Amino acid sequence: MKLAILSESPADEAALRVLVEAVLRGPVRLVRPGLRARGWPNVSQVMPAILRHLHFNTDADGLVVVVDADDSVVHTPHHDRPDYFHPQCRMCKLRAVYRQTMKKLPPAHGRERALRAIGIAVPAIEAWYLCGRDPTVSEQAWIEGQQKGVPPYTRAELKKRVYDTERPSLEHETRRAMQEALRHRHDCRRLEYDFPSFAALAQDLRGWKAAQPGSGAAASRAGRPEPASSPVPAPPPACVGAAAPSAANGDLPPVKA
């Protein structure tokens, strides 16, 4: 499968490739997006141009976009209602950018449109990296902190826990991001359970397979907003046959077959 990855740093994009391949259960071929972004809101600003480039100038299957939530509103299943849009939710914003861009483009390279998979790391991608290694870090912990007005940790603290410094070099940041992402390459259930924001990304990616040639009506659905994943996901295809989680990852919650 061919795809482009758009995120806030080259280090994150390298780690995201590992996580994408874990979800899809196989290697991917990267396509240059044509432009790079550095932080939010630059990602949303360059996304239309990148989508047009991928659509007309490449045969890429789609674009993977991941940004930090920072202090924005966290996406919830409530936001997935038809015609609903929360102006402070970055997931809602990026999905809207995709829809508004692609509806203007004619078919190209034998496909109706390039697909999309979007994830919003809550509150930052370093929280994903700490999943299974630091039990105090989870999406629910952050949401509860927002509701109480007392965050359980800061984004700077997350960086410190991952990189042992708040200002890592790009080389060190990339090395540590890859190390943490590789812990999940055989079993991503813990990451999906602790971070529904990652589960939404994984759900989009699995929809791409249904949208491949020969899948008929499924192609028209792929890339559109989907209901948020269940808070207790069944073992996804990427994790079938994986070794049992180690003590470092903690006991997984019970899942339904």
Would you write out the chain's pLDDT as a tens digit for each of its 257 residues?
999 999 999 999 999 999 999 999 999 999 998 888 888 999 999 999 999 999 999 999 999 999 999 999 999 888 988 888 999 999 999 999 999 999 999 999 888 899 999 999 999 999 999 999 999 999 999 999 999 999 999 999 999 999 999 999 999 999 999 999 999 999 999 999 999 999 999 999 999 977 666 554 443 444 444 444 444 454 443 333 333 333 333 333 333 33
Rg (CA), the chain: 17
For the record, the structure tokens of 218 come out as 């499924």
- pLDDT for 77: 86
* C-alpha pair distances (Å), 238 with each of 19, 118, 186, 191, 242: 10, 18, 7, 12, 8
Which DSSP helix (H) or strand (E) runs through 48? Answer: helix 42-57
Residue 106: other Cβ atoms inside 10 A = 8
Residue 256 within any structural domain of the chain: no
Return d(Cα 82, Cα 252) in angstroms, integer.
33
DSSP string covering 200-230: HHHHHHHHHHHTSTT-TTHHHHTTS--PPPP
- pLDDT for 228: 42
Residue 177 within any structural domain of the chain: yes
Residue 39 within any structural domain of the chain: yes
Residue 69 within any structural domain of the chain: yes
Residue 235 within any structural domain of the chain: yes
Residue 191 within any structural domain of the chain: yes
Range of the domain at 221: 2-249
pTM for this entry: 0.82
Number of domains within the chain = 1
